[in-house]
Structures are given as structure tokens and as C-alpha cells.
Amino acid sequence: MILSHKHKSIFLKTKKTAGTSIELGLTAFCADSAVITPLAQSDEVLRAGQRGAQNWRRHGWWQSSRSFWKRRMFKVAAEDDGFYNHTTAAAAKALINDDDVWRSYFKFAFDRNPWDRQVSYYHYCFRNQTTQAPFDRFVQSDRRARLNNHDIYAIDGEVAVDFVGRYETLKEDLKHALAQAASMQIPNSREPREVSGRTSAPIGNTTRRNRGGSAANGTGPRSRCSGMSSEPA
């Protein structure tokens, strides 16, 4: 996530939508007052020589929104101290604690076809393993395997950002978003890589299918907040 007071904009980072690439590009525009959340350790090296995480701590770990047993059972996470990598709209609004800022700043996020998003996550989870579990078993065995980006950019089920760009038209939609955010423009060297045009690929015993296009599932017209009210199924 990035909160830029200089450009009066808030970028909410969703999952499997080139969010890290976008965040790395946006970091170049950030001033000392900006909130830049920590990346995974393996990704932090990618922004060596430019700004790193800053101003993301807002409270002590004892005020974390995570339950106490999760903090004891699992490793400490950035969200225990304030803003974090995939900060939700609800959490960001609460941490900013300024209704004028939340209403007036340009808020944006990205999403993609939910089927492709899930397949991307599947391959990501098994990237360092020689064998892969069947896709259907992977999705059904653990509820955490099912990504839901809508919960990141929505509050109480309603889209809370001003623009939801499509991963499928990432370059075009990112330029549109940046034009709204004080006319920022990412240098070509920092633009996210082109999105593959593949529509089908084998996944274990399951075949990825090209679903029907619509604004809701990310394959139709550009999605804006007025056209999205619930997570695509």
C-alpha cells in the first residue's frame, strides 16, 4: 500500500495483480511524508537505492487487529504495527483517521479475472516444489487458498475506492489512475511487465477455462466503483 500526501492518492495493493511492480514504480514519486508499507524480504531488494518502507508504523503490537493467539502462534506481521502490504480499505480508513483525507484523496486498486487470479496464486504457492497438488484439492482443502481481493478495496461489501483497474489492461488503466493522482507517470523502465494473453492452461487434473466477460470478473469494460458492488464468483 502507498499513501501519498504529495499526490493526494491512496493505492491499495491487491493480490496477484502485479501489485508489487506497481508499488515499486510508485515509490519513485513518494515524498518524506508518504506511507510506504514493507514488502516481502525477497522483494525489498528490488527497491534498493530508492525509498524503502516508511511511516507505516502507527501503534504498538499490543494494539494489533489480529487476535492474540495468532500473534503468539504465528510470526510477527507488519499489520501488528499499522499499515501493511495488503492493507484493506477499512483498515486504511481507520489508520488514516481523517475523513477529509479519505474522501478527497484519489483511491485506486487493481483486480483481475477471478479464475486467472486463483490459478496464478496456485502456481505461486507451488513455485518452489517439484510436485503440485491437484488444483481442485488445493482450492477446497484450505479456505486461505481462495483469494478475495474485493475485501481489500471494499468496506461493508461496497467498493470504497474511486477506481478499480483491470490487470488484463494494466498498462492502460495504470496510466489512467496516475493521471487522476496529480498527473503522475511511471518511467518506462519501471512500468509493470506486459500481461500474458493466455486464456487456457492445464492445471493438474483441472483445465483453466476462459470464462464469459463482464466488468465484474475483469474481462469486460474497465471497472469503476459504481459498477462493482460485490466480489465476483
pLDDT at 81: 74
**Residue segments in the chain with a per-residue pLDDT below the cut of 70:** 59-80, 183-233
pLDDT in the model for residue 144: 76
Q: What is the pLDDT of residue 59?
A: 66
Burial 63-72 (b: 16+ CB within 10 A, else e): ebeeeeeeee
- Residues facing residue 2 across a β-bridge: 11, 36
Strands 9-11 and 2-4: antiparallel
* Residue type at position 67: S
- pLDDT tens-digit series, residues 151-182: 999 999 999 999 999 999 999 999 999 999 87
Within the chain, what is the greatest distance between any pair of CA atoms? Answer: 51
How many whole angstroms separate alpha carbon 65 and alpha carbon 172? 36
What grid cell was written down for 93? 480508513
Quote the pLDDT of residue 60: 58
pLDDT at 50: 85
Query: Residue 75: its pLDDT value, please?
Result: 55
Gap between the Cα atoms of 123 and 138, Å rounded:
11
Residue-level pLDDT at 207: 41
pLDDT at 185: 63
pLDDT of 129-147, one tens digit each? 999 899 999 988 877 788 9
CA 212/CA 149 separation, integer angstroms: 19
In 3D space, the residue among 195, 168, 173 whose CA is nearest the CA of residue 186 turns out to be 173
Burial 137-147 (b: 16+ CB within 10 A, else e): ebbeeeeebeb
pLDDT at residue 216, as a whole number: 40
pTM of the full structure: 0.75
Give the C-alpha separation, 227 to 197, whole Å.
24
Helix/strand number for the chain, H first, E second: 9, 9
Domain boundaries, the chain: 2-227
- The helix (run of H) or strand (run of E) holding residue 69 is helix 68-73
DSSP 182: T
Three cell numbers written together for 156: 461493508
